[in-house]
Amino acid sequence: MGVLNVTPDSFSDGGLHASVDAAVAHGLSLFEAGADIVDVGGESTRPGAAAVDAAEERRRVVPVVRGLRARGARTLSVDSTKAEVAAAALDAGADMVNDVSGLRFDPAMGPLVAERGVPIVLMHLRGDFETMHREPRYRDVMGEVVEELRTGLARAASAGVRPEQTIVDPGLGFAKDAGHSLEVLRRLPELAALRRPVLVGPSRKSFIGRVLERPAGQRLAGTAAAVAACVLAGAHLVRVHDVREMADVVRMCDAIRGEAAP
C-alpha cells in the first residue's frame, strides 16, 4: 500500500503533492513502482496537526481519487475517519476505507462500509489525534492491542460489516512510544489470533528515528528493516512511502519465506 498524502502538513511529505495534478501523477508513479493499493489521505495525524473539517478534507481527497480512477488506477483506498469523506471518495471511485480510529470517531462509518460492501482497515488507536501522543501507558502493549482490535471488530460487526471485509492494523506510532512500537513489531504474530488480514504501517515512523537518530527523510534503511520484520512476522500488507524500494524488500522476504520463485 503506497501512501499518498494530499495535505500541507503531514510529517514527512506534507505539501509535496498539494495540487490535484501533482497528487495524481504521484499516485500513478506509486502503482508503477509496485504498489497494489494507493491510500489517499487528506488529514494529517502528526502531533500538533490542525484538525480538518469534512468539507476541506473532501475537497483535498475527492478530485485526486477521481483523477486516479480516470487514469486507470488499480485499487484505491481513502484514509479518513469521517463517513462523509469516505462516502464521497467511494462515489469518486475508491475501493476501500482506511479508518485509523477503528470506527470510533464517526458512528456513521460502520453503516456506510456495511452498505457499500467495501473492505475497511481498522487501526488500533487510543484517544484522539490531540491526546494520543501524551504519555501512552500499557501493562501489556500487544495483549491490549489485540483485545482492543477485537473490540473494534465487534463494533464493525454490530454495524453490519461482514468479517471478510475487515483488515486489522496495530497502529505503530499511534498512542505508542518507540518502545511500544518495537514490542508490537516483535510480537506481531499474536495478531493471528484475530483471524483477519494484517496491515502494518512502519514507514518513516518516529520509532525508527528514535533508534537511528535520523529525521523522517533519512529513514529509508530503518523502514526497510521494519518492513522486513513485518513481512517475516506474517503481515499481509505494508503501508509505505518508498514503494519501489519496499517492493524489493517484500519480494525478498517472500523468497525467504518460500512464497516466491527465485
Catalytic residues: 205, 239
C-alpha 119, offset from chain centre:
13
The angle that helices 243-256 and 220-232 make with each other, rounded to 10 degrees, is 30
Give the long-range contacts of residues 27-31, CB within 8 A, separation 24 or more: 27/2, 27/64, 27/68, 27/73, 28/68, 28/71, 28/73, 30/2, 30/3, 30/4, 30/243, 31/2, 31/73, 31/74
In contact, 89 and 102? CB cutoff 8 Å:
no
Cell of 239: 503501508
Residue type, 258: G
Residue type, 84: E
User: By C-alpha distance, which of 148, 147, 135 is closest to 177?
Assistant: 135
